[in-house]
Structure 1
Amino acid sequence: CQGDRYNIKTSNIAESINSALKRARGFPVQFLLEFIREKLGKWFWKRREDGLSLPTQHSRGVEYLLAVRSEIADTMTVQPIVGWRFFVKGGKMDCVVDLEHGKCDCGVYAVEKIPCSHAIAAGTSVGLHISTLVYPVYAKDFLFAGYSENIYPC
């Protein structure tokens, strides 16, 4: 796949929906549809409120990953190659990091669009703030926008 693969970290969505709708399965279709509408409305409202209340620039999950990876990055050594390319030694493997294109030899940065510990080490070595290395889709504004629509009853 040459494009972004957004399904890498997801589990079987059909199983998740089936589990959420288990209580309404034996009822008529009209009740099932209203149950789905109510459930989605609650989920959207809760996630919209969570997005608004975030004190940080990114979601809680991304901030946690950045904190853990920053601790690992502190133990690494960085050697500049050229421009925005760096050789980072340490961790499980030594890697070449390209901050301009968001790539690292470990593959994590290119797939997740969240900087790996190698990219964090390279970025901090040149004075970049970690949040500038995270792709914009993880910003709390994007999170809020994803749940901004209201789900009205019929």
Structure 2
Amino acid sequence: MSETKTFPESGIYLDDRVVTGKPSLGDAHTVSWLVRHFAKTVLDTRAGFMVGNEAMKDPLTAIEREAREMASIFQGHDERFDAQPWNVPARIGNLCRVLCPEETKQYGDPVAGLFMWVAGQVLGLMMEIEDGGDEAEIKPRIDAMLEDITARLLGVKY
């Protein structure tokens, strides 16, 4: 008689994890670093644009390029990372398609669309600070949003 597997309600199935020694997309630290690095890149791109950096004269294109790189990583197309069974277009892509339907349509890739949504949120919150908003109140909102996205990319929150 075969044993019936019961899976947790999350997207991560620990007995199916892929481990080769590379940074894992099933590791919260790795995923958090990638999400936060993307957010920092978005802010750095905007800052470069604002000071007239010639390399940043088309910030939207630069941000979209970074979002597409994140999409490639999180859909298992980047050999630098151990993709997990969750990191395929049919699974993580479907979640992102539901979370960001407009961005999915606009960018043609649900995970790139999710990262473009993240970029919009980060920029919007940063502009609130620049417009005189309370930085002590806004920064925790940025952190909470990035933590939420990290959990969703890990498949532990839908």
Normalised by the size of structure 1, how large is the TM-score? 0.32
Normalised by the size of structure 2, how large is the TM-score? 0.31
* Greater RCO (CA < 8 Å, at least 6 residues apart): 2
When Rg is computed on C-alpha atoms for both structures, the one with the higher figure is: 1
Q: Higher helix proportion, which one?
A: 2
